Amino acid sequence: MAQSLLQEQLLQHGDFFKLTLTNPDGLAPAQFNLADGTSVAIWDTGVICFTPAQLSQKDIVLSCGVHGNETAPIEICAELVKDLLTGQLQLKHRLLVLFGNPAAMNAGTREITENLNRLFSGHHSLGAGLINAERKRAKALEDYVSRFYQEVRVTNLVPRNRYLYDLHTAIRGSRFEKFAVYPFLHNKPWQKAEFEFLQACDVTTVLLMQTPASTFSYYASNSHGADAFTIELGKVQPFGQNDMQRFAKARAALRQLVSEAAVSTVHFDEQQFQLYQVYRAINKQTQEFKLHFADDVENFTAYPQGTLLATDGDIEYRVEREGEAIIFPNAKVAIGQRAMLMVVPTTVAHNIA
Ligand SMILES: [Zn+2]
């Protein structure tokens, strides 16, 4: 498509998401300005960067569709991009919006060959290397995030605040419908302001990780010092079948995040949150691995101590601790992969800034 025609269509309809779906394998870079002086740069399919005429100190990355069938966040981001392009929403901060896996979105599946959210921090190039589309995309997304954060020079006088919110919906229901995963900070303090932002998004359940991970949010946090989160906004539904009322607060907070100096939040109070940390990860060791609870058991369900949770050949996994709850159980993972996480309630009071 000629650049002027593309630009004209985007300014008129703002449908960058549709453009992404019709070009899942790539999109030629393009650059143009909006009427208010905002610069718009298309870097690739599903990758669009907005720079306001007046720079603030925030650099914000919003990503969705890292799992292709997690539609509600994709719809929220598609609408936000459309409203920015058509002038319905005024941009305040630098913003990079990423539609993670366009091919899987078209297929209506979580992934084509491999879980994209297990391929970051260089995992895309381990083992067999860049052998499939998801591995190549993970590397490309890392490069785009690096480019975005590094394009603006960081000086001691004017530090920049980096953010990455990777938006998902969960496969199964959850006792707490919305929850966030706070990547391992290597003992740096958790951020009050981030808990306040999560609460504005209607997310008050937070899982605090204690080890490095191959997720997009850990990558942004660890490699770029961003305040980064994986945010689970509810349960997976097909496109157009989401009850958008359930996402109203997250949608509003994200729009405020990009268009206003600050998001309206309430002061952090730990009592308003359900905080968990990982107690143990249960990995599948044999083909006989079996979960001993129903398929529709919700994330964060807790059972009495001693309850049999899973068997793996001769090994039995039972609830060991009071309050220990299951999260992300999946018996179908490959041997050696994580089949379930066990979490326990925790506090952040000892290390928060
Ligand atoms: Zn997901």
Distance CA 219, CA 144 (A): 12
CB within 8 Å of 202: residues ≥ 6 apart: 178, 249, 250, 253
Residue whose token pair is 């208010």: 36
Q: How far apart are CA 340 and CA 353, in angstroms?
A: 31
- The dihedral over CA atoms of 192, 75, 47, 20, expressed in degrees to the nearest 10, equals 170
**78-133 confidence digits (pLDDT tens):** 999 999 999 999 999 999 999 999 999 999 999 999 999 999 999 999 999 999 99
Q: At what angle do helices 133-151 and 216-224 cross, to 10 degrees?
A: 30
Helix, coil or strand: residue 334: coil
CA of 155 to the centre of ligand 1 (A): 35
pLDDT > 60? residue 1? no
Q: What is the pLDDT of residue 154?
A: 66
**∠308-311-315 over CA atoms, to 5°?**
105
Contact present, 313 and 285 (Cβ < 8 Å)? yes
Instruction: Decide if 70 contacts 64 (C-beta within 8 A).
Output: yes
114 and 132 Cβ atoms separated by less than 8 Å: yes
Q: Is the pLDDT higher at 155 or at 215? A: 215
Q: What is the pLDDT of residues 195-232, one digit of tens each?
A: 999 999 999 999 999 999 999 999 999 999 999 999 99
CB 230 within 8 A of CB 327: no
Mean pLDDT over 315-335 rounds to 93
Q: Which residues lie at CB < 5 A from ion ligand 1?
A: 67, 70, 168
Cα 67 from Cα 65, distance rounded (Å): 5
Neighbour-count burial of 219, counting CB atoms closer than 10 A to its CB (0-12 exposed, 13-18 middle, 19+ buried)? buried
132 CA from centroid of ligand 1 (Å): 19
pLDDT of residue 155: 66
How large is the average pLDDT for residues 16-40? 95
Which of the pair, 157 or 126, is modelled with greater confidence? Answer: 126
Virtual torsion, Cα 295, 340, 201, 217, nearest 10 deg? -140
* Interval 259-287 mean pLDDT: 96
Q: How far is the CA of 170 from the centre of ligand 1 (A)?
A: 6
Q: How confident is the model at residue 307 (pLDDT cuts 50, 70, 90)?
A: very high
- Of 75, 70, 50, 72, which Cα lies nearest the Cα of 60? 50
Going by pLDDT thresholds of 50, 70 and 90, the confidence category of residue 2 is low
45 alpha carbon – ligand 1 mean position (Å):
19
Q: Is 181 helix (H, G, I), strand (E, B) or coil?
A: strand
211: left (phi over 0), alpha (psi -120 to 50) or beta: beta
Q: How far, in Å, is the centroid of ligand 1 from the Cα of 267?
A: 29
Catalytic residue among 232, 260, 298, 316: 232
Amino acid code (one letter) for 280: R
Label residue 25 by pLDDT band (50, 70, 90).
very high
The model's pLDDT over 278-304, given as tens digits with 9 standing for 90+, comes to: 999 999 999 999 999 998 899 999 999
| Strands lying side by side in the sheet with 290-291 | 290-291, 308-312, 315-318
Cβ contact 162:214 at 8 Å: no
Mean local confidence (pLDDT), 157-185: 91
Confidence of residue 59 (pLDDT cuts 50, 70, 90): very high
**Is the per-residue pLDDT at 142 higher than 60?**
yes
Beta bridge partners of 96: 49, 61
Q: Calculate the CA 322 to chain-centre distance.
A: 30
Percentage of the residues of the chain whose pLDDT score is greater than 70: 98
pLDDT of residue 3: 66
**Where is pLDDT greater, at 77 or 297?**
77
Sign of the CA dihedral with 199 first, then 203, 205, and 208 last: negative
Q: Is there a catalytic annotation at residue 75?
A: no
Instruction: Determine contact, residues 246/203, Cβ cutoff 8 Å.
Output: no
> What mean pLDDT do residues 37-48 have?
97
pLDDT of residue 157: 67
